[in-house]
Every structure is written in C-alpha cells, then in structure tokens.
C-alpha cells in the first residue's frame, strides 16, 4: 500500500478541482461533507465516467469561503481485469493519498500493485505535486 501526505493542500486542491490534472482517471466515487453531505457514485453497470465530466460539479460544491470538513475522491484505472484505485482524502485540513487494487483473481504476484504505486509517484512528481511518502522506511 502507498500512503502519501500532500504538502501543499491549496495547490493540490486547485489541480484536482480546477485543472485537467486528474481528468483521464475514471471516477469511482466522490463524497463531500460541507453544509450537507454530497455523494456521487458511479453505477456498476454504467460505462466509464471520467473525472473530467464530474469535476465541474465537484468544484461547484466545494467552492466558497468555508473549507469542507471532509472530502474523499476515489479515482480508478482499469488494467485488464484488475482495477487500480487512487484514494484522495481531505480531512482536518490535510490530504492523504493511498493506493488500492481490486483483483478479479487472487494472485501472490504483486508486480502489478508495485507498478501502480510507482506510476502514482511518477505521476504526482510530473504534475509538480509535492508529497511525503508515509510508507518509506517501513
């Protein structure tokens, strides 16, 4: 598992909600606690819904003078029959990103999982997103 803490929360939120940085990812779910609880979930049998399509709605729910108390965005990338997840959680003014993987068939081979974690790190670095890897040294 990958666990990253985002250093510049404001910059990251701008990239997530105002730019096309994450637009190529599929949206799995979005949850926001603000003045109400908002949830957006992709229907299991529906075709792909990209973050690009729902990002403007998420931005409209978040924008304003008061920060949300909690927000979780789960983005996905399918690969063959597996799905890799990017979990983004904003809580208590901090952003944590964790990785995940849903496998159709159990396997002891973790190379796909390691490749996904490496991809996330490279992706964030290329996009100029600074983070601290919470798992280093473990």
Give the strands of the sheet with 70-79, arranged side by side: 37-41, 26-33, 70-79, 82-91, 94-102, 3-6, 131-133
Percent of the chain with pLDDT over 70: 91
Look at residue 109 and tell me whether its pLDDT is greater than 80.
Answer: no
Instruction: Name the nearest CA neighbour of 86 among 46, 56, 121.
Output: 121
Q: List alpha helices for the chain, DSSP H.
A: 9-18, 51-62, 111-126
What does the pLDDT average to over 29-53? 88
User: Does the pTM exceed 0.85?
Assistant: yes
Phi, psi of 42 (to 5 degrees): -70, 135
């Amino acid at each position: 598992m990958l666990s990253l803490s985002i250093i510049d929360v404001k910059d990251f939120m701008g990239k997530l909600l105002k730019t096309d940085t994450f637009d190529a990812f599929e949206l799995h779910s979005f949850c926001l606690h603000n003045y109400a609880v908002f949830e957006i979930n992709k229907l299991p049998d529906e075709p792909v819904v990209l973050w690009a399509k729902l990002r403007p709605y998420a931005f409209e729910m978040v924008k304003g003078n008061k920060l949300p108390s909690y927000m979780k965005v789960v983005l996905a990338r399918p690969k063959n029959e597996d799905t890799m997840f990017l979990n983004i959680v904003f809580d208590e003014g901090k952003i944590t990103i964790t990785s995940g993987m849903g496998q159709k068939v159990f396997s002891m081979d973790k190379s796909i999982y390691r490749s996904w974690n490496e991809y996330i790190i490279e992706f964030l670095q290329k996009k100029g997103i600074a983070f601290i890897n919470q798992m280093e040294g473990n």
